[in-house]
Structure 1
Amino acid sequence: MNPGPISPTPSPPIGQGSDGAMARKGDAAPDADHRLRRVAQQVAALIRQPVSPRAYRRFTFAALLLLGIIVLTGAAVRLTGSGLGCEDWPRCSDTEVIGELSGAKGIEQANRLFTGAVSVAVIAAVLGALRRRPYRRNLTLWAWSLVAGVVAQIVWGGVTVLTDLNPAVVIGHFLISMVLVWSATVLHVRAGSLDDAGGPMPKPVGAFPRVTAATWAAGGALLAVLVTGPIATGTGPHAGDANAPRFGFNISSVVRVHSATAWLLVGAVVWLAFEAARSKDGPTIFRTQVIVLLTLAQGAVGYTQYALGVPPVLVAAHIVGVTLLVVAITRTALLTPGPAFHAPEAT
């Protein structure tokens, strides 16, 4: 039987087969470029969008939250002895840009990488301030202070590694972090005021001047605690690395000095609580109660960690507590009603 004409085998379309695979690879680069251009255009359009005051408070809260978290991740580096997991900066070592992501190297590099997230948050705070409507110059200046602080923190962190965790340099790194938390708190509180004329918030004086005075006294005592605490840490066992240098002070004497500054803070907080109660202002009383509770918790954790030989978990809790105290006292100082006080917006 005649099977009929045999159909010719179809040729592969142009761009298929082995030659087609090469063609597809050649097309991949333009496609990727096109996608990147679209993403860039979308980001540019997003940046040009106006930002409402309520939305901008979310920007500032994110910056404050991440700046607080990186204090804890930095403490984790020190408390796990991972401070020299990467012995070089900005590279991990002479031979590695990024070392293996485990052990001390992994902990140190995770902290460095988290700095990238913090950087994004503070840059977003600046861009948000520029696009906020109505625009307020003071918010932009405070947002830029966060960028300057993060840059200083990054550079100082490099110096800390290159000096093999010199305790004096480590203290400087911690204090920069505390200044950043303070600055981010100021930005977040000011972003919540209804002063959209462009000027600063009213100074927290007038209606409750004694509350204001007591708050500033508590802030001064807290500053002393922030200095003496890291000195005690730099004298004790948690230097960040087994071979890191330490202060040559007597640990008992240093702890007594730190304890004295802590009791000074307690005295200022008691005064603040008394004046807040006299003010009969509900929000002021509530903010003061938060400070009282944080101070009591700090004292309990501090004495417990000393009695138990400063276990890392309690030291980390102590650092979290003092960070929250910076936020709480700063908020109270800024939000104490003055004669022309503007209430914060709802969050």
Structure 2
Amino acid sequence: MPNSLNPLELIARRWQPSAAFVRRAALATVVMAVIIVVTGGAVRLSQSGLGCSTWPKCTPDSLTPTAAMGINGIIEFSNRMLTDVLCVVVGVFIIAARARSPRRRSLTRLGWAQFWLVMSNAVIGGITVLSGLNPYIVGSHFLAATALLTVAVLSWWRAREGDEEPRDLVTRPVRQLAWLLVGATGALTVIGTVVTGAGPHAGDAHKVHRIPLDWQEITQLHVDFVYIVVGLTVALWFTLRAVKAPAAPRRMVLELFACLAAQGVIGYVQYFMGLPELVIGLHMLGSTLVWICALRLALALRDRGPLQEDAPAVAAPTGAHEALDAQAVSAPSR
């Protein structure tokens, strides 16, 4: 009975999105995940982390910020509202992936993984406010956002490839080198999060507890890992050339190297200029782009066959109808 079907099944029976639409929906989740990271950084850098004094309301008596809270309340509340936009975008991707025929369960699972990551990170964000911007919880908030970005990139990549068994495009040691690069980039991100937790930008104008470490020493460790990631990137580029890997992953290595170079310049500028907020914001944006490039590169070293695109309508060859008519006319009557 139709009324016994769940809403997603009902939508699937009435709407068949194209493969291109599913890809665009998946890409939209990547874009929104990047925006959430950058705007979350803007909340901290503008000292608006406690712009709303409580959670889930903005104040104990108001869901929205009041005039007395000023710009900080507006910034913090606006970031909360972006979570609703993110939920809508993820929801569109889940619905499109579910309605697409043939159904691809891997895509719908990745969509639901994004949804639960968004929900869990919203709770972590609430705990962040209720804990008075505890630096460990703030760091967890950022890492959860990075996990969301990771799943979004995986969703986008899976939406572009088929469902055959993965086939390596290079030898296994080369793929292992690529995933080692991904691991080093992930460690670089985690260390950068520790630098943030120990550094001077606490997220609020009042005194906020910081991680009891010398942030300059942690910054040096962060720089050391930058050199490791750059070295692995260069090594992978030479390796891919040596094994005559396909052009796409070789191009992606260059894209990753360009992002790392830009990120390195931004990092040195922010350090020697005394950590200006705008430059730190650009550095956070750069970290998301580096992470996306590293993931894409590792995923590009496998092949899962072509994606089943929309089947075009089969048209009769030109002149076929005319040939059939002529044959019918010339055939002797019986």
**TM norm. shorter chain > 0.5:** yes
2:45 paired with 1:87: no
How far, CA to CA, are the matches of 1:47 and 1:117 in structure 2?
A: 26
Q: What's 2:327 paired with? A: none
Please report how far the alpha carbon of residue 286 of structure 1 lies from its aligned counterpart in structure 2 after TM superposition.
Answer: 0.7
Q: Which has more radius of gyration?
A: 1
- Read off the aligned partner of 1:98 and give its amino acid letter: T
Note the alpha carbon deviations across 1:32-81, whole angstroms, 9 max, x for none.
Answer: xxxxxxxxx9xx76983112222111111111111111111101000100
Structure 1 counterpart SS, 2:133: coil
Q: Which runs of 5+ in 1 are unaligned?
A: 1-40
Note the alpha carbon deviations across 1:229-276, whole angstroms, 9 max, x for none.
Answer: 011111111111122211121122111121122222112111122122
| The one of 201, 205, 221 aligned to 1:257 | 221
- Read off the aligned partner of 2:195 and give its amino acid letter: A
- Read off the aligned partner of 2:253 and give its amino acid letter: T
How far, CA to CA, are the matches of 1:289 and 1:108 in structure 2?
A: 37
2:241 paired with 1:277: yes
Superposed CA RMSD in Å reads 2.0
Q: What's 1:54 paired with? A: 20
2:175 paired with 1:212: yes
How far, CA to CA, are the matches of 2:157 and 2:13 in structure 1?
A: 23
* Equivalent pair of 1:129/1:135 in contact (CA under 8 Å): yes
How far, CA to CA, are the matches of 2:243 and 2:188 in structure 1?
A: 27
* Equivalent pair of 1:125/1:143 in contact (CA under 8 Å): yes
- Read off the aligned partner of 2:177 and give its amino acid letter: A
- Read off the aligned partner of 2:71 and give its amino acid letter: G
Q: What's 2:331 paired with? A: none
What is the aligned length?
297
| The one of 123, 126, 149 aligned to 2:91 | 123
* Equivalent pair of 2:12/2:99 in contact (CA under 8 Å): no
CA 1:126–1:47 in structure 2 vs 1: closer, same or farther (change >3 Å)? farther
- Read off the aligned partner of 1:57 and give its amino acid letter: R
How far, CA to CA, are the matches of 2:290 and 2:308 in structure 1?
A: 23
Q: What's 1:293 paired with? A: 258
**Identical columns (%):** 33
Q: What's 1:75 paired with? A: 41
Which TM-score applies when normalising by structure 2?
0.84
Q: What's 1:177 paired with? A: 145
Please report how far the alpha carbon of residue 100 of structure 1 lies from its aligned counterpart in structure 2 after TM superposition.
Answer: 3.0
Q: Which runs of 5+ in 2 are unaligned?
A: 1-6, 310-334
- Read off the aligned partner of 1:212 and give its amino acid letter: R
* Equivalent pair of 1:57/1:192 in contact (CA under 8 Å): yes
* Equivalent pair of 1:225/1:258 in contact (CA under 8 Å): yes
| The one of 187, 190, 200 aligned to 1:237 | 200
- Read off the aligned partner of 2:182 and give its amino acid letter: G
- Read off the aligned partner of 1:256 and give its amino acid letter: Q
CA 1:345–1:285 in structure 2 vs 1: closer, same or farther (change >3 Å)? farther
* Equivalent pair of 2:169/2:301 in contact (CA under 8 Å): no
How far, CA to CA, are the matches of 2:307 and 2:217 in structure 1?
A: 44
